[in-house]
Copies of this chain bind each other. A is one copy, B any other.
Amino acid sequence: MATPIFKASSSSFTVSKNYNLFQFLHTTIPSTPPPPKVFGTISFSFRRRYYSLVACTPSSSSSSSSSSSDSNSDSRPPVVVGPRLSLSSGAHVIPHPKKVEKGGEDAFFVSGFNGGVIAVADGVSGWAEQNVNPALFSQEFMAKASSFVEDEEVNYDPRTLIKKAHAATSSVGSATVIIAMLEKNGILKIANVGDCGLRIIRKGQVVFSTSPQEHYFDCPYQLSSEAVGQTYLDATVSSVELVKGDTLVIGSDGLFDNVFDYEIVSTVGTYDDVSNTAKVLAKLAHAHSVDLRYESPYSLEARARGFDVPWWKKVLGMKLTGGKLDDITVVVGHVESS
């Protein structure tokens, strides 16, 4: 099965933390404070530097001094016991150029439940070789997962949500899946199977990143309708303490195979609106994906794994380059006081 939301064709959504999945097509983004800017670099030296007021930016030194003044105090509560937090999210989807009509094979949902839930699934395209529409499994998986978000048995645990959604699917196919659930105390719980990804950007840098799971290059762990696939037991489960102002970037491998982390950090630091940020990142990923000369994360990884152009092309100075044509799904969440 599939609902319109899972068949979005190059469309953008905005989700207020107060809206759930079935309302969010009609919501508008609440204004958010501008994220911190990226630190600049300075003249290069091979000597490791120590941190001095002179060497650092006003924003960092002020935040540092304000916190360091507290370093010997037992009275101040840890960050996570601060104001209750929730996500304001925006998303953008750009299907594979050859799959625009069907809307591609990625699926996602966003929910305002508890502190907020973001999930992305990427249908494995190889199923097309078996005359199976790869979009159906990922779409059904996300639909089932969204229906179980508030389930008592799930109890805010993304791995249990993967378990229940997987058990409820009836479509043939397989998908990589990532689900992130934020509790209002600031704890983000993440369950990840395959090569969808998540980045947490804080003060202009990535402070947390998921690692893709794969059997071999371009063959990710995947939840499948077949017995050979992975299950919730294969998910990498982690949690991170978020603070107000953090930005989450969650997406399918179509984003992370075409866009470097420094580009994600730079984009997050440039746009205040989560919907704009998602749109800009998706368009950047798409632009790279169709650029045959671009040295994408995907092409660099391929060369690092020993894949390259034929020897006679190497002789001519050529090498394996280019982005990766793929469905691109980007969901950006901004952590705010609820």
Contacts and interface: CB of A to CB of B under 8 A. Distances in A.
B224 A236 contact: no
A68 B169 CA distance: 14
Contacts of A205: 211, 213-214
B233 A302 contact: no
A215 B232 CA distance: 38
Number of copies: 2
Nearest to A206: B211
6 tightest Cβ-Cβ pairs between the two chains A and B: A50-B126, A44-B307, A71-B231, A49-B219, A50-B124, A72-B167
A203 B137 CA distance: 26
Nearest to A42: B216
Given A60-B215, A219-B56, A231-B67, A48 B124 contact: yes
A268 to B, nearest CB: 14
Contacts of A127: 50
A202 B192 CA distance: 14
A51 B228 contact: yes
B68 A228 contact: yes
A22 interface: no
Interface string A130-149: 00000000000000000000
Contacts of A124: 48-51
Interface of A: 39-42, 44-53, 55-57, 60-61, 64-65, 67-72, 76, 78-80, 124-127, 129, 159-160, 163, 166-167, 174, 202, 205-209, 211, 213-222, 224, 226-234, 236-241, 262, 302, 304-307, 324-326
A237 to B, nearest CB: 4
Contacts of A262: 304
A222 B306 contact: no
A226 B208 CA distance: 27
